[in-house]
Structure 1
Amino acid sequence: MEQANQLISEIIQGACDNIPSATWDSFSITIKALNKMIEIGAFYEEGGNMLSFDPEENGNDITMKIKSLREQMYRLSPGNGAWYSTYFTVDNTGKFQTEFDYDNKPEFEYTPSNEKFIDDLKTFPRDEALIPQWLHDLAGS
């Protein structure tokens, strides 16, 4: 778990380093992931306004850290499968919250093919009872 916590810290710090303001109040990162597809949305709040930003603008590749985090967390509890979405919220004091969603179908901006979801299940197998119904339906089994 120590390696997963380190990756979370690196992802948050990498994103924070790209906020184009020194007076932000909080920021959030929304991540949707499959084995070969990662989508990141990042917003910061400043003076009551929510503004988007690129969490990788300075070249700090948090996408590979996200991929590593997903793999590491899977290894900690392999029968549960890998998470599909995660949300990080950080305030300007450094306090943060995380939420990992293992059950709901991720709503990507560009919908992945069914094969991408099936590939993800093959890469990160789950105990039969933990395969969500939407994934059963999608896989046709």
Structure 2
Amino acid sequence: MSQPATAALTEQEQQQLVRQIGRAMLPAVAQGWQRVRAEYRAAGRHIEVDLAFAGPDGQWRQARPPMDVVQLFGRLRQGMYSTDRGTWLSAIYTIEAPSAFEVEFNAEDEPRWRNAPPVIGFQDELRTYPRSDDRIPDWLRQRVGLPPRQEPVDLRVAHVYDGRDEAGTPLVNRNTVDPRLVESVLSYLEAAPVVLAARDLDVDEFAPGERDVPLNFRTDGVWVWAGAVPHYLRKHGLPPEPDLVTHIVGRDYRLPEVDEQTRDRAAALITGA
């Protein structure tokens, strides 16, 4: 993706440019104006600018926007770019006589186009002003053919067993996994990406003296489980939580891609970060 050629403007430079735009608008309107309104809309190289003014009678009249206004708005749009949120797509600049003014910037909602840009215009927008995926609004995703934004789901941690008795022995009160499904469930559990891992092995709580339980955690983007879950299923036939088994079967044992952000969320959930 290409980056805007103009360096980011400071807050003071932005204010100076805003005042320059206002001064550049005024020569295009008739004497005796009471209000002036300019609207700038852009997607990539598609640009629309409307300029209107109202006199003492309150009636709005269209005026031709000076080229300086168009260019200064473009400079301001470039200078307000940030890598996470991109830049604004439209701006409305109003002036009230004699000198009060206000500017509203919109970076999320689709502008009210006179003529909607072609797909290449929206693609060019994201190439020129790339933004983080979670800051691309749904309407823009649809315009450029991106898949709908996936909202983060609440991750669920699988319990290895159901508690302990007074002596500290693990308690299990679950239905066994259908023997015909065990290998497929194990393949799913053991193939999911690891989000946390230690080099050491833990003690097998169902085989005193044996230390062979993997100290790791995996996730499929919905559930998070310890390495002990598949270990105890394979070694002792201890079934995972029924809801986890149902989830795996419902996915037909197919693991989805798990993005880095979801892996980080899973690790934070385990560590309490």
Normalising by structure 1, report the TM-score: 0.89
Given the alignment of the two structures, is residue 69 of structure 1 paired with residue 76 of structure 2, yes or no? yes
Unaligned runs of 5+ in 2: 1-10, 147-273
Give structure 1 stretches of 5+ with no counterpart.
none
Cα offset for 1:101? Answer: 0.6
Residue 39 of structure 2 corresponds to which residue in structure 1?
Answer: 30
2:25 to 15, 20, 39: 15
Corresponding residue for 1:39?
Answer: 48
Amino acid at match of 1:93: P
Q: Please, what is the CA RMSD of the aligned residues?
A: 1.3
The answer to whether structure 1 residue 108 and structure 2 residue 118 are counterparts is: no
Q: Give how far 1:35 is off.
A: 2.5
Q: 1:138 corresponds to which residue?
A: 143
Structure 2 Cα separation of the partners of residues 3 and 50 of structure 1: 31
Question: Structure 1, residues 10-65: CA drift from partner, whole Å, max 9, x if none?
Answer: 111101121122x1111110110122122111111112111111131xxx522111
Question: How far apart in 2 are the matches of 1:96 and 1:124?
Answer: 27
SS in 2 for 1:41: strand
Match of 1:3 in 2: 13
Letter aligned with residue 62 of structure 1: V
Deviation, 1:128, is 1.2
| Conserved 8 A contact 1:11-1:65 | yes
- 2:62 aligns with 52
Aligned-residue identity in percent: 26
CA contact (8 A) 1:27 1:42 kept: yes
Match of 1:135, SS? Answer: helix
Deviations 1:46-104 (A, max 9, x none): 12111111131xxx522111111000011xx3311111110011101211111101011
C-alpha separation in 1, matches of 2:75 and 2:141 = 26
Q: Which runs of 4+ in 1 moved over 4 A?
A: none
Contact between 1:82 and 1:124, CA under 8 Å: does it hold in 2? yes
Report deviation, 1:112: 1.1
Number of matched pairs: 135
